Structure 1
Amino acid sequence: MPTYRVNDAGVRYARRLIDADRYDDSTEWSEAAPTTEERNEELEEEGREEWSRWYLAVDEDAGETTKARYRFPYGDFENVNRAALVHAKQRAAQNDHPQIEQAADELLQRLDARRS
């Protein structure tokens, strides 16, 4: 099983987006998740550094220039998606990635606090 580390830049970016009320709390992740084509377009238009900030985890075993290096997406390149955070938290818990689970949970709590 791969070992992931928290993508600190991604978590910081997600916090900023949530604090700026740039989140979607009504669309299911299956509907909001970017398609392969949309991910490729974002990568090409914005570059790897910007693109990688939309992920909670880094797989250091994957090559630095591969898309497989970044895991646990949390948004659609515009907004944080609440359902994506729920999905990331559950998947991280199921696959024994406690740091990723904790990061997703912290962001989920932050988003829910903003909604209140």
Structure 2
Amino acid sequence: MRRAGHRAAMTVKLNEKAFEHAKYLVRKGQTTKDERDDWSEHAPTADEQNAYLDRHGWRDYGLWFLGVDTEMDDETKGHYEFPYGDFRRVHRCGVISAESRAAQYDHPDIQRALAEIHELLDGGHA
């Protein structure tokens, strides 16, 4: 039985392009090493998301989300899940927040990808 408001794990898949993009940004140093609780303040607002979409389109927008819902049209915000940054930098707080949500809602591939990004952010060499 699914919980209200959360789609079944099988419809949400790892966004490989976003995973590669996140690792690339971390290796380039485009990061913010903040604390977990900062994500509520640092996550892009709906207006910021819309402005980014207007400037860059769906393809670039999708690079900032590690999950995609295969049952949703790819040109809808509902298609994209597990944001990890603010359209400029990878935020440690966003990665940690998404990592715990991926575990909570049983998305092991996304959870592993986020753990790898988390390790990179904390100085590991994943």
- Residue matched to 1:87: 97
User: What amino acid does structure 1 have at the position aligned with 2:24?
Assistant: R
Matching residue within 7, 15, 38 for 2:15: 7
Q: Is there any run of 5+ residues in structure 2 with no aligned partner, and where?
A: 1-6
The residue type paired with residue 23 of structure 1 is T
Secondary structure at the counterpart of residue 31 of structure 1: helix
Pairing partner for 1:77 from 87, 102, 109:
87
TM-score when scaled to structure 2?
Answer: 0.87
Measure the CA separation in 2 of the matches of 1:66 and 1:51.
10
- How many percent of aligned residue pairs carry the same amino acid? 37
Structure 2 distance, partners of 1:63, 1:19, is 31
Letter of the 1:90 partner, please give it.
S
Q: CA RMSD in A?
A: 1.1
State the Cα distance separating 1:26 from its structure 2 match. Answer: 2.1
Moved over 3 A (4+): none
Alignment of 1:97 with 2:95, yes or no, is no
For 1:15-69, what per-residue CA distance to the aligned partner results, in whole angstroms no more than 9, with x for missing partners?
1100011000126111110100000000110111111100001100111211110
Counterpart CA distance in 2 for 1:92 and 1:54 is 16
- Residue equivalent to 1:59: 69
Q: Which runs of 5+ in 1 are unaligned?
A: none
1:77-110 deviations in Å (ceiling 9; x for gaps)? 0000001100111001011111111111010001
